[in-house]
Structure 1
Amino acid sequence: MNLVVNGDAESGPGGSAEPVTEVTGWAVPEGAPALIAYSLGNGYPGIGDPGPADRGTRFFSGGNSPRTALVQDIALPERGDAGWRYIDAGRVRYTLAGWLGGYATQEDGARLSVEFRDAQGTPVALSVLGPVTAGERLSRTALLERTATATVPPGARHARVLLVFTRSGSGTSNDGYADSISLTLHATGGRK
């Protein structure tokens, strides 16, 4: 089960290139993202461009801000096969995944990270994905899948998912793009 709420940009306001101040499931501590429809055109990623096979109708972009950030703080499950007892025994793995990209030859990009924290809020582990460079995209408008998998650190009780879009050039649009953001937990080994 994906622990990230609205990791696919499908819920809430948006659909155009106009920035929004609120995004369902996410806090917006910096900048103003846009939730753009794949059908918009005007050089934005479309249905025919590289991206998730199961994409919905919209994706995230950095809007018009030089730097835009979206954040979610997620409580890890207390019970079940991915609960605290299994986490503290080192028997839960996580996968952080997202489709990240940008526009043509520009180096605007999106970076996705998860920071695990203990009960006091102290960081205990970090994974970072992206940004995807223009070279990795072969200088075309595209979103490419990036993933990281590792063991949830013992003592972790919360995960902070951070999605940051950065404009590298002098244009007015922040053409870092992201879609299909997910954080999933998987129990390993047998039950005790």
Structure 2
Amino acid sequence: MIKHLLALGLLALSLSAQAQATLGSNLIVNGDAESDVSGWTGFDGYELFQAVDYGSSWVLPTQPGPADRGSKMFAGLGAQSAGFQTVALGDLAGQPLRYALSGWLGGWAAQGDNALLYVSFLDRQDNEIGHAALGPVGPADRGNQTGLFLQTTSGLLPAQTASLMFSLSMERQGGGDNDGYADNLSFVVSSVPEGGTLAYALAGLALLGGVLARRRR
């Protein structure tokens, strides 16, 4: 599903303007659902997920989730729902950058419905040269509880990264509702401290070697 969505998103990306990135700020627009689904664009052929109120129909304020959860979270629609947004690195492109990706993902009781947050690292030709992902968080990961659970990852952006595409998808695997849940999604970039640039350069060379190796197959 992600590969198909990525192709659709890259087509849309080539036709639309992008927001610009700044250091130390959350680059995901409306990652907390408090502005409904503003900032997110649906993929052709898929329903865009919805913003719902915490409460008895979804996740109770007393059930697992972020302490600063606000009043809303994202939930799925239909069998599969997904949306995306993009940001251009602008003047930050080519600089050694570290990223921190986090989000609260979950579902309903023992059902397998789940959410996935996928970040594509794109070069100036909108080719994916790397990615990061959170989820899916299945019922075993949640202890068969209804709620959202913090997921995190971090790393170095490939040196050739010029823009980012954030894709959030929910999949229904049981029941009548799509109970893939997400809230408080965040992606922050920061400068690599002096002395860390060698590791950054080596990571870029390793990535380039992997790309060349795939092309030879």
Q: Number of residues paired by the alignment?
A: 170
Q: What is the TM-score with the length of structure 2 in the denominator?
A: 0.75
Q: 1:10 aligns with which of 13, 34, 53?
A: 34
Show the 5 A alignment for 1:129-168: 129-168=134-173
Secondary structure of 2:141's match?
coil
Correspondence list, 1:77-92, <5 A: 77-78=90-91, 83-86=92-95, 91-92=96-97
Secondary structure at the residue paired with 1:96? strand
Q: What amino acid maps onto 2:178 in structure 1?
A: N
- The answer to whether residue 127 in structure 2 is matched with residue 122 in structure 1 is yes
- Post-superposition Cα deviations, 1:14-67, rounded to whole Å, max 9, x if no partner, equal xxxxxxxxx2001011213221111x313x11110111111111000002x100
Task: State the alpha-carbon separation in 2 of the partners of residues 32 and 139 from structure 1.
Answer: 26
Q: Which has the higher helix share?
A: 2
Per the TM alignment, residue 95 of structure 1 is displaced from its structure 2 partner at its CA by 1.2
Rounded to whole Å, the distance in 2 between the matches of 1:77 and 1:51 is 34
> Structure 1 stretches of 5 or more lacking a match?
13-22
Kindly indicate whether residue 85 of structure 2 is the aligned counterpart of residue 72 of structure 1.
yes
Shift of 1:97: 1.1
Deviations 1:143-165 (A, max 9, x none): 01111101010110110101110
> Which is richer in strand?
1
Deviation at 1:77, TM superposition (A): 3.8
In structure 2, list runs of 5 or more residues that go unmatched: 1-24, 198-217
Query: TM-score of the superposition, structure 1-length normalised?
Result: 0.84
CA-based RMSD of the aligned residues comes to 1.5
Distance 2:101 2:81 in 1: 20
**Correspondence 1:184 to 2:193:** no
Give the match's secondary structure for 1:69: strand
CA distance in 2, matches of 1:130, 1:33: 16
Matched residues in 2 for 1:85 and 1:129: separation? Answer: 25
Q: Contact 2:94–2:160 at 8 Å: present in 1 too? A: no
Contact preservation (8 Å) 2:99, 2:154:
yes
Residues of 2 paired with 1:61 and 1:37: CA distance?
Answer: 10
| SS of equivalent to 1:31 | coil
